Amino acid sequence: MWIEILLFFAACFLLLYRYITKSFGRWEKEGIPTLPGTFPYGSHAEILTQSRHMNDVFKEDYEKLKDSPVVGAYMLGKPVLYINDMELIKTIMVKDFNHFMDRDDSNMTNAMAGGDIDKYWHTQMTTLSGEAWKEVRSTFTPIFTSGKMKAMMQFITEVGNSMVKELERLADAEEDFEFKSVTGKFSLDSIATCAFGFNPNSYEDKDNSFVKNAAPIFQSDSMFDMLLFTRFIPLGSWIHKKLGLNIMRPKQTKFFVDIIRQALKHRRESGEKRNDLIDMMIECMKNQDESRSDGKKQMDEDTLISTAFVMLVAGYDTTGMTLSYLAFYLSTNPEVQAKLQVEIDEAFAENDGKLPDYNTILSLPYLDMVIQETLRFVSPIGGLTRACTKPYTIPGTNIHLKEDDVVIIPISGIHQDPNYYPNPEKFNPENFSKEAKASRSPYTFQAFGQGPRGCIGMRFAMLEVKLAACEILNKFTILPSAKTPEKQICDPGHDLGYFLGGLWGKVQRR
């Protein structure tokens, strides 16, 4: 009996070993500089150990071999190619986009599939591929036109007023606070009220369930990592589906999905119109069971809800983090903050002391430079992936990619390359002056990605950050706090790489 059990586990181990190592050596055979693979984690033990965040790993890998236009590596058993050359990045993201239409390969896509709750991660826009992605992207794009965002600005301003009241309280109490505890509420309430028609009022409600459910969405733990890993091994994803196993933060996911579904129901029954994302979803679903002239069926409600859900929680975390970084770097670079305050004060003065209008806020040049430098200095996402959708030969090489091969753009490394950004460890908004930008490829800045799969919410996120910065800096000066750890390290347990220990500071009324 015990012998049979031992033989069974030995056979399973050998199969797993073969599955992971079968592609090791592929890049070396093609003469490509390569970070060698080791069982069971490939080129990066951090994938399993979580000893460091992958943003830091991407940066280190880039620095090791940045003079090579392409570099091979292995993620678990998956062969991947780092793309370090700007022309190749442009080719992959734009010129030959039809060969790299998908963000994730089949392994990653399957890893998102599980039970009835996990499906909302599996069918959202960033996970979808091919024509399904195109259809959902075209459905959601109109929410971020200039006309729609101008209409939304009044709702963001209302949230901004609540944020200012919270900062006034903190200023009067001379209280240190963690920046994201304030900026995260601003980003969550802004996107919720603009896109979905409800304001969570996170500043007024101290026990707000929105914030409590949004905060853990991008946090990892050892149990989650172990379960996710099992979906990458043969039959793992299939078994999870058969068991109906949900691992993608099911409690939090269900909370937000139910909120969006309730908003849809209320809007249908009330007939209220706001020309927002909910209205667009209703319009799209009116005839969802009817066939189109092209023979395809319309998207079902769950597909639209899943993308709306991810836009809400991802918009909360990325924008809240960006505002936190911005506040921190302004507090530690007072000369930059003072210069930015002059620009913002002038814009307020030209509008009789009131918040500037939409066009003025978006056109403030130094504000734009400061935000872009913040995103260069520490981008929420350290690497972009693209999956090959049909056989491809990298231009100027004999490197052949097969369908489902993956390439990675190492953002955190490129953003710290002194060839593009002199003295990259110094916070310097002049990196984004007109002259500086003209001197380098636009593909050296990848905070929002590039090409057709670039961030759909970029313009909305920039409006949020710029409006919040105007409101804050016109009324307050941001000061540093000794509570911030002396060295900023990406938290390995945070999917998007927020700093371990948080970023702390305080504000002073001007």
Predicted pLDDT of residue 231:
82
Predicted pLDDT of residue 110:
82
In this prediction, residues 139-164 reach a mean pLDDT of 89
Predicted pLDDT of residue 299:
66
What is the reported pTM?
Answer: 0.93
- Rounded CA-CA distance 34/239 in Å is 34
- Rounded CA-CA distance 375/448 in Å is 9
pLDDT band at 274 (very low <50, low <70, confident <90, very high): confident
Closest CA to 307 of 263, 354, 260, 264: 260
pLDDT per residue over 163-203, tens digit each? 999 999 999 999 999 999 999 999 999 988 888 888 889 99
Closest CA to 211 of 199, 229, 227, 223: 199
Predicted pLDDT of residue 474:
97
pLDDT per residue over 108-143, tens digit each? 888 888 889 988 888 888 888 888 898 888 888 888
For the cut 60, the answer to whether the pLDDT of residue 297 exceeds it is no
- Rounded CA-CA distance 460/431 in Å is 23
- 235 alpha carbon, distance to own chain's centre: 29
pLDDT per residue over 330-345, tens digit each? 999 999 999 999 999 9
- Rounded CA-CA distance 191/311 in Å is 9
Predicted pLDDT of residue 410:
96
Q: Which residue has the higher pLDDT, 399 or 231?
A: 399
Strand-strand pairing, 392-393 and 400-401: antiparallel
User: What percent of the chain is predicted at pLDDT more than 90?
Assistant: 55
Strand-strand pairing, 78-83 and 406-409: parallel
For the cut 60, the answer to whether the pLDDT of residue 300 exceeds it is yes
Kindly tell me the burial class for residue 292, based on how many C-beta atoms sit within 10 Å of its own C-beta (0-12, 13-18, 19 or more): exposed
pLDDT band at 298 (very low <50, low <70, confident <90, very high): low
What are the structural domains of the chain? 115-379+415-509 (1.10.630.10)
Mean pLDDT across the chain? 89
Closest CA to 102 of 404, 409, 489: 404
Q: Which residue has the higher pLDDT, 86 or 7?
A: 86
Predicted pLDDT of residue 208:
80
Q: Which residue has the higher pLDDT, 239 or 479?
A: 479
